[in-house]
Chains A and B, each alone.
Chain A
């Protein structure tokens, strides 16, 4: 696996990427916060998601559900191929680090 040029995500970003991988589709911020067991905060999750979108780790779209017509539409987030590579690279780096400590 090529990890050389893949940017490594931060701890919070890893949590979000892992949850999006588990979601196997799209998810919105509050859903991610509820599933994170307190690792994500309501006040910061959308800032982090916005930053991750700028980096290309996630993509988002407006929810076209008819229920959303009364307010601004919710944004649904999906992990991108770059996000998957970044997550894999981070997990690989963590594994190597752990291996180094064991030795």
Chain B
């Protein structure tokens, strides 16, 4: 992979109807992760075929230049991209030196955020209020730390965040269930006493 001015080359699929990007145009991109954390970065449009746009983005240069295009792609795919003027889409890392910009029908890899299956299962186990107040918040926290670790290319730390989350979840379950049972016993005891 060729280094050019110390910037990464990534392609972002975008909604062409909402935003008309032009070659060499500089725009600011806001990326919002599924956990709600965000980053912004300046990028320069290098090529557009109406469906995809090739850009330079300094935030991902280390990943792409170290030959780990897949990781850069994974990081991008974990972010919903939102340009301030209605530019939306998901990203895929490519090499600017490649002549081909990905085709319209290029297969995309969908990365499911950690904790998604748990969030789908929880409604069968707990009340909506408990999910919203306790478990959804814990999952959001885990995702924020997990994505931050991935974005810094610290895969082991990301793995540790996941492991810590599952261990912590056990504590949460025990504490939540313990408090609920204690409250019920107290309520029954009060009823019996009155």
- Interface contact B133-A70, CB-CB below 8 Å: no
The reply to whether the CB of A93 lies closer than 8 angstroms to some CB of chain B is no
Judged by a CB distance under 8 angstroms, whether B110 is at the interface is no
Contact of B80 among A41, A49, A70, A74 (CB under 8 A): A70
Binds A, one of B48-56, B69-77, B162-170: B162-170
- Asked if B132 CB lies within 8 Å of chain A CBs, one says yes
Do A70 and B138 touch (CB < 8 A)? no
Distance, CA A60 to CA B169, complexed state (A): 22
The interface bits of chain A over 32-46 (1 if a CB of B lies within 8 angstroms of the residue's CB, else 0) are 010000000111101
Could you tell me if A46 and B137 are in contact, using CB atoms closer than 8 angstroms?
yes
> B: which residues have CB within 8 A of A?
32-38, 80, 130, 132-138, 140-145, 164-165, 167-172, 175-176, 179
Interface bin, chain A: 20 to 34
Complex contact A41–B137 (CB within 8 A) = no
Residues of A within 8 A of B (CB): 28-30, 33, 41-44, 46-47, 49-51, 53, 60, 65, 67-72, 74-75
**Given A42-B142, A43-B167, A72-B136; 14 other pairs, CB 8 A cutoff:** A33-B141, A42-B165, A43-B138, A43-B170, A43-B172, A43-B175, A47-B179, A49-B133, A50-B133, A51-B179, A67-B37, A69-B32, A71-B36, A71-B140
Q: Chain A residues with Cβ under 8 A from B175's Cβ?
A: 43-44, 47
**Chain B interface main SS type:** helix
Q: How far apart are the CA atoms of A47 and B176 in the complex, in Å?
A: 6
Name which residue of chain A comes closest to B165, CB basis: A42
Contacts of B164 in A (CB 8 A): 42
**Smallest Cβ-Cβ distance to A53: which chain B residue:** B133
Q: How far is the CB of B145 from chain A (nearest CB, A)?
A: 8
